[in-house]
Amino acid sequence: MKIINKNIPWHFLTLFILFSLCAGLWVATKKIDYTWRWNRVPQYFIYHDEELIPIPFDGVVASLSNLGDQTQIKVVSEQGEEKTFTVDSNAVEVSEGEDLFQGDYLGAVFEWRAGPLLKGLWVTLWISAVASIFGMIIGLVTGLCRVANNPTLRSLSITYIELIRGTPLLVQIFIFYFFLGTVLDISRIVAGISALAIFAGAYVAEIIRAGIQSIPKGQMEAARSLGMNVPQAMVYIILPQAFKRTLPPLAGQFISLIKDSSLVSIIAITDLTKSGREVITSTFATFEIWFVVAFLYLMLTSVLSQVIAWVERRLSVSD
Amino acid sequence: MIKTVDLKKTFIGRGQTVHAVDGVSAHIKPSEVVVIIGPSGSGKSTYLRCLNGLESSTSGKIEIEGVDLTSKKTDLNRVRREVGMVFQQFNLFPHKTVLQNIVLAQQVVRKRKDAEAEEKGRMLLEKVGIAEKEHEYPIRLSGGQQQRVAIARALAMDPKIMLFDEPTSALDPEMVGEVLEVMKQLAREGMTMVVVTHEMGFAREVADRVLFMDQGKLVEEGTPEHFFTAPKEERTKAFLRQVL
């Protein structure tokens, strides 16, 4: 209890500093005469879409039957063809016996639809997830090659790692899209995901290598002395321990990957960043949208760090 | 059972050549307990590690139960199943519980069923006197307990030969006794054992034969009685004056 009491003034100071920073931001935007329009933002997450239903031929409304929220409209064409449409009851635009021409609206159906920000968030999420999985596989294989006895495997993995770590991700994405995309005829999504996965793989490989090398030599010797071969010793003894040790740096790497995925917007993949840019062109709510986009990225990354912290806690039972 | 002929192991590194094992010929018979002693850096550990292929020999011959270890055709993993090893630093698997440590290799290498492996594991833990610790992780055991688990882990593979590489050197003095006790029991049961140790008392009491190594060479060998009372070589006498 005493320790907590002693810290309370400091917590207040922290809150005060954060509050001052926010206030400063607010004052600064006041000065440039910016009108905040937060009310424009929600419709880009989810919106109520109205779909108008037209009649496909010239004809007559034969009957209307109300089924509560929805209404069934039966229409008959001049040739005697019958068709039934369902529209929302509060959006019926015709009455019984009315003559209609082809293309006239019978009514409308309303539906909730995901807006561009939600769609972009989803694209970012699955692109990052797929790239992470492949990045992990590539990194694991390369990391194992990096510590292998075979000189060719070692040299190849070092070349790959140096090549990828030494060039900017943005340039790699361009090369994947414009060069490999053209030569191998792959789509922009595949090009984007490959660039991200191969980029992450190089860093993961070094993390895995460091993890493997941090396990004392005696562990491998003990496993071998029990008759296990190298793959068995790796799978059962070395990698589980290495994985546990490398979890914090791996978490950092995958959080980076989520953020780096924003770069694929440059090759016209409609991820969260590109969706944000598109929404800005139609709302001019530049500040609001970028803040929202940043917050959404923050949500993705903090969920990931929570998950990894949970795994870390679970693995720490043997400490 | 174990036969080495003119075994040599040379380490080359940073322009230096070290003859760690320099022409050791020895023959260890079934059920024999052989203790190897010698000063630090005399090559006794390296010699022991050659016996299960943890170090590959530079030249010479090693035969374990008639299988030539130096031949390229020999499957080392098959030989290692039959040769248990206990390390100075225990080398228990820290991410596995005590029982899992003992069960894992039985399942992976010997392809035993879970129940069979666990039964064997519990029986061996009973034998080394720590049955109640089966669900603990190694980090929570004392050094002596860890080393006894390591012995149980090696025994679980039903080895025909046990190698001990300074099993008590990393232990607090009061824990040495409990580990030596387990080893003595093994010796009484007729296990073939090669022990590298600084425990002269153990050598005197348990060994059938003592090998004294210095600078990679086998200087003198004989029964403990001969060795501790009437050593022939000057180097042996000098060493014994230091340690006794």
Query: What mean pLDDT do residues B90-118 have?
Result: 94
Query: What mean pLDDT do residues A232-256 have?
Result: 94
- Give the tens place of pLDDT for each residue, A73-117: 888 888 888 888 888 888 888 888 888 888 888 888 888 888 899
pLDDT of residue A100: 85
As a 3-state breakdown, chain B gives helix, strand, coil percent values, each rounded to 5, of 40, 25, 35
Token pair for residue A287? 């500040």
Token pair for residue B9? 């192991």
pLDDT of residue B243: 83
- Give the tens place of pLDDT for each residue, A16-70: 999 999 999 888 888 888 888 888 888 888 888 888 888 888 888 888 888 888 8
pLDDT of residue A4: 62
B154 CB neighbours in chain A (<8 A) are: 225-226
- Give the tens place of pLDDT for each residue, B87-96: 999 999 999 9
* Least confident window among B64-73, B153-162, B175-184, B208-217: B64-73
Contact B163, B48 (CB under 8 A): yes
Closest Cα of chain B to A196: distance in Å?
32
Backbone angles phi, psi at B22, to 5 degrees: -125, 75
Residue A20: partners with Cβ closer than 8 Å, 6 or more residues away? none
Residue B131: partners with Cβ closer than 8 Å, 6 or more residues away? B122, B125
Above 80 in pLDDT, residue A5?
Answer: no
- Give the tens place of pLDDT for each residue, B28-69: 999 999 999 999 889 999 999 999 889 988 999 999 988 888
The overall average pLDDT reported for chain A is 91
A224 CB neighbours in chain B (<8 A) are: 54, 77, 80
Query: What mean pLDDT do residues A281-299 have?
Result: 92
**A229 in reach of chain B (CB within 8 A):** yes
ipTM: 0.92
pLDDT of residue A2: 58
The overall average pLDDT reported for chain B is 92
pLDDT of residue A1: 55
Mutate to test the interface with A, among B81, B86, B87, B95 (most CBs of A within 10 A): B95
- Give the tens place of pLDDT for each residue, A113-135: 888 999 999 999 999 999 999 99
**Minimal Cβ distance to B104: which of A236, A317, A319:** A236
Query: What mean pLDDT do residues B188-194 have?
Result: 94
Query: What mean pLDDT do residues A199-209 have?
Result: 96
